[in-house]
Amino acid sequence: MTRRIDPALIPPQPNLLFERCFWNEGILLVAGIDEAGRGSLAGPVSAAAVILPPLDEIQKTLSGVQDSKQLSAAEREEQRILIESKSRAWAVGFAVSAEIDQVGIVGATQLAIQRALDQLIVKPQHLLIDYLVLPNNPSPQTRLVKGDARSLSIAAASILAKTHRDEWMISVANKYPEYNLKANKGYGTADHLKAIKTYGYSTLHRMTFKPMREME
C-alpha cells in the first residue's frame, strides 16, 4: 500500500504529526527516509532511514532538527550525534556514481534507500518518505511532499544522509585534490566546473550528467 498526502501548510519546524497518527494505531516502528546528493556531479547518492522512539518527549530532545539544508555544517554534526544516540534505529545506504549512470538518479536513490532499510536493526512497519516511493518494496508507505520540513523522522534522516555523504566525500578528497571535493562535496560549484574543464573528469564523476556526457 502506498499513501500520498497532498501538500499542506508547512509547520515552523518538523514535528511528529504524521508519526503520532501511526503510533496511535499501534504502528510504532515508523521509518523516516530522505536522501542527499541527487544533484551532485560526483560521488554517491546517499539515503538514511531513521526510526524514532514513540515518545512525545523526542520532539523536545530533537528540537534542533530541521531540514538539513537549513542548518550549518556544525549544526548538522551536533544534531547527527543526538539523532544517532536517541533513535530506536538508524542506517545510511549509498549508491555510487557507476550505479547512477547505469540506472539513473531516481533508480539509484531508490537503491540507496533500500540499502539503508536493509541495514536497520528492526524492520519498520511503515515508511515516511520525502517525495519518492519504493515501487519494489512491499512495506506500507506514505509519500510526503516537502517531508523534510514536515516530519521529524524525515528531517532527522535528511541530516544523517547529508552528514554521512559529506564525510564520505571528504574521505576521498585527497585522492582527487584538483576538484576541491572537501569544499564542494561534488556539487557543481564554479570552482568544480572549472576543474572539470581543466582536468577532465575522474572515476567519481557521473558520466550521464552534464558536463561529463558532453565531453565524451
Q: pLDDT 10s per residue in the chain (216 long)?
A: 445 444 456 889 999 999 999 999 999 999 999 999 999 999 999 999 999 999 999 999 999 999 898 999 999 999 999 999 999 999 999 999 999 999 999 999 999 999 999 999 999 999 999 889 999 999 999 999 999 999 999 999 999 999 999 999 999 999 999 999 999 999 999 999 999 999 999 999 999 999 999 986
Tell me what pLDDT residue 1 has: 46
Look at domain 8-174 and name its CATH class.
alpha beta
Q: What is the DSSP string of 118-165?
A: HH-SS--SEEEEES---TT--S-EEEETTHHHHBHHHHHHHHHHHHHH
Q: Quick count: other Cβ atoms within 10 Å of Cβ 14?
A: 27
Q: Domain ranges for the chain, please list them.
A: 8-174
Neighbouring residues of 186: CB distance < 8 A, sequence distance ≥ 6: 37, 40, 41, 42, 43, 169, 179, 192, 204
Alpha carbon distance 130, 158 (integer Å): 9
At residue 216, the pLDDT reads: 64
Residue 67: predicted pLDDT: 86
What is the distance between the alpha carbons of residues 10 and 149, in angstroms, rounded to a whole number? 7
Is pTM beyond 0.85 here? Answer: yes
Cell digits for 120?
536497520
Calculated CA dihedral for residues 83, 85, 89, 91, nearest 10 degrees: 70
Sheet holding 30-36, edge to edge: 2-5, 141-144, 126-130, 30-36, 45-51, 89-95
Please tell me the predicted confidence (pLDDT) of residue 215: 87
